[in-house]
Amino acid sequence: MKPINDLLATHGVPVYDPDDATLSSGEHAQAIIVAALNEQWDRLDGGQQRSIVKGLAPGK
């Protein structure tokens, strides 16, 4: 499985700084979610990573 940053970048997901006060509410939520994925991704085994990817991209 690719590093999560590569997977997100491949699909054009921007990486925002969660502490940036200029973010919209949606951008802030996305920043928190992406930060959590980046922080925890390598702790998951390959099957857990694939299940998240498949759940977010059904049919792929």
The pLDDT confidence band at residue 60, using thresholds 50, 70 and 90, is low
Contacts of 34 (CB under 8 A, 6+ apart): 8, 13, 15, 16
Q: What confidence tens digit (pLDDT) does each residue in 18-58 have?
A: 999 999 999 999 999 999 999 999 999 999 999 998 998 87
Domain total of the chain: 1
In which domain, by residue range, is 15 found? 4-56
Selected residue with higher pLDDT from 26 and 4: 26
Say what the pTM is: 0.74
End-to-end CA gap in the chain: 14
